[in-house]
Amino acid sequence: MLYGKKLIALCTSRVYDVQVNEFVRTLNGLLDHKKYILFIFNINNDMYWESGNVNAGTSVYSLIDFAVTDVVIIMDEKIKSEVVSERIASAAKAHSVPVIHTDGNCKDDDGIYINFDFDKGFEMIVRHVIQEHGVRRPHLIAGFRDNPFSDARIEIFKKVIAENGIAFTEDMISYGNFWAKPAAEATLKLIESGRMPEAILCANDFMALGVCGTLAEKGIRVPEDVIVTGFDGYDEIYFSMPKISSVRCGNDTMARVVFDTLRELLEDGALPGSLPGQKGGAGQKAGNRMPAGRIMVAPELVKNGSCGCPDSEPPADVFGKLNASFYRYQDDIRQMFNISELVQMSDSFERIASYMKDDHLLHTCCIINKSCLSRVDDYFGPESIGGEKCFEAERILLYDHNAGVYEPQPIGNSLLAPNLEKMTEGEYPLIFTAVTYMDKPIGYVCFSYNSCEMPDYAKTFQISTALGIGLGGYIIRQYQLYLNEKVEEMYKNDFLTRLYNRNGFFAAFQTLRAERRYEGQTVTLISSDLDGLKYINDQFGHDAGDAAIKAVADALRNACPEGSLCVRFGGDEMAALIFGDCSAGEIMTRIERDLDRFNADSGHAYTVRASCGSCTAVLDENFHFDDVAKLADENMYRIKRSRKAAAE
């Protein structure tokens, strides 16, 4: 329960799909919004029943808070992944939250399954064609070979024609892969064979549309020359010439059965996992009850002109739904991808948030993983685990259009969205969709539209996809800029000492000269050389020699004023160029003191010493670095020779 209301979590795919939208609109319209809250957890692409194809979008299901959720509804046929459905169901079971599956068959022994009786529906239309229209030479265009849904329709076809005394032969079956073009190609082969059947029964409506189009192109009349039927009852059957006979598996009907089941679970006190309807509820109203927690919803035979029957009246809102579906292709797409491009080219998340002040983003807010803000980590690196990667504990609100917030701010992980309680006061569901890029979650969008209509729901795909591309591109670009900086740093800095190398030093010096920042001022060059490097390398190894070089470099850098250019020319030869008045003697004394401290603390069996020399000049048109360096080196070598002579 959340905010005193019972929370229903609906897990689905493509909330902008006509069938899903019909289910949501019907279910939401039946709910008493003083008692119920509906959250929709949506992915933009289904899984196509491939067990290994679990994409990053499914991470949105990890946002379900089972501690406050009262019922989970999983639209298995829309998600099309037993792995994903079972994962959601298992998490719900661990929290004793009941699960309702629609059109599902995953491994959830405690779940309640509400399924269309597809077998009964397909049998209805085959019997209609064979028995009521007297067809003796039927042909079936099935789906994919070895597909369980397709195979089930083939078996029903064989059963019905056998019961009506028609002998089955293999040439009665073609395969259209559940799509219009392959079905059209199968129809061409039938025509070319010269053995046209009296009726072509298709395993779904899209194939029937393809068949009718091909027959019309070849001058073959429907239904005068050949009957054509479909299956599923999509709205498109009413816009064909002639209208196509089919079997309607109405998602509005499914939603009503689900609502009755919800009411019995949450209001009549049914136990989680038990079969509802013991008091004459959902199952008895909708169709025949099956054992093991299944409620079967009977489809409806739709007779139209393609089989020779008078046309049926289309659903009352079919024209409105078709008109609304065109909104999926309006100019919003262009505007969203314009925003996406701006996001990719931004220089900060603050700038990104400012671009969200756009009317196309009304009723939305976006939350991202905190690690997206880091430009020094490879967010899309090989450690990514796609859809199994849940959202991070630390999250950032990127923007909240509802509240007028366009500045990134931390929200932790306690809430799905800011102002959640206010957003749940309305009569419409909240929709959560993951924002992904390169199969890794970046964050998610919460949509709080004041309707359940297609024009709004179509935007969920546009917005989440555009944000994914924009934010993903921005994150990669920032990491690339960071890598470029590191490469630049490697190019201009010495790896061991982190001082400038020769190239870096002269590039920095020439930049300063071009800026004329220190023109006419004095500059001092201090030249430094490690004493006894060969001895250290020979007696203690090159690692010890490197440590000694680094100690001298650190002492040189620490002794010089800020803004000095410190360089390692190579080997143990180092120098510092200091701008403005300074005391070279004090700097060289600080270098010696720093090395004394190093020797006292290091515990090494060798002593690190450096000889230094200096030269001061004026930075004007007569300044030549090589001349100044030569004088500084001469002074440094004079000191080195005197030290060596004193030691002998």
Task: Write out pLDDT tens, residues 354-410.
Answer: 999 988 888 999 999 999 998 888 888 876 544 445 788 889 999 999 889 999 999
Q: 643 is written with which tokens? A: 């030290």
What CATH number was assigned to the domain covering residues 330-489? 3.30.450
| Integer Rg of the chain from CA | 38
pLDDT digits (tens, 9 = 90+) for 61-87: 999 999 999 999 999 989 988 889 999
- pLDDT of 10-25, one tens digit each? 999 999 888 899 999 9
CATH classification of 6-110+251-298, choosing from 3.40.50.1000, 1.10.40.60, 3.40.718.10, 3.40.50.2300? Answer: 3.40.50.2300
pLDDT of residue 413: 66
Domain boundaries of the chain, sorted by first residue: 6-110+251-298, 118-248, 330-489, 502-647
**Cβ-proximal residues to 258 (8 Å cutoff; 6+ apart), any chain:** 27, 73, 100, 102, 114, 282
Contacts by 328-332 with C-beta closer than 8 Å and gap 24+? 328/16, 328/454, 328/458, 328/461, 332/360, 332/459, 332/462
Q: How far apart are CA 428 and CA 461, in angstroms?
A: 18
Residues of the chain predicted below pLDDT 70: 49-52, 268-292, 316-331, 383-389, 413-414, 648
Q: Which residues pair with 41 in a beta bridge?
A: 11, 432
One fold for 6-110+251-298 and 118-248: yes
Q: Which amino acid is present at 86?
A: E
pTM: 0.77
Rounded-to-integer distance, Cα 568 and Cα 611, Å: 15
Residue 228's SS3 state is strand
Cα 520 to its chain centre, rounded Å, is: 58
Q: Is residue 297 within 8 Å of 115, Cβ to Cβ? A: yes
In this predicted structure, what is the pLDDT of residue 273? Answer: 40
Round to whole Å and give the CA distance between 280 and 233: 28
Burial level of 597, CB count in 10 A (0-12/13-18/19+)?
A: exposed
For residue 515, give the 3-state DSSP assignment: helix
CA dist 285 and 513 (Å) reads: 89
Cα–Cα nearest to 572, from 602, 623, 520, 537: 537
Instruction: Look up residue 140 and give its two tokens.
Output: 């079936």
- Which architecture characterizes domain 502-647 according to CATH? 2-Layer Sandwich (3.30)
The H-or-E segment that residue 254 falls in is: helix 251-266
- According to the model, what pLDDT value does residue 269 have? 52
pLDDT digits 0-9 by tens, 605-625: 999 999 999 999 999 999 999
pLDDT value at residue 200: 98
Answer yes or no: are the C-beta atoms of 361 and 391 closer than 8 Å: no
Check: CB of residue 162 under 8 Å from CB of residue 262.
no
Q: Could you tell me which of 603, 511, 528, 609 has the C-alpha nearest to residue 563?
A: 511
Superfamily grouping for domain 118-248:
Response regulator (3.40.50.2300)
Burial class (CB in 10 A: 0-12, 13-18, 19+), 416: buried
- The identity of residue 501, as a single letter, is N
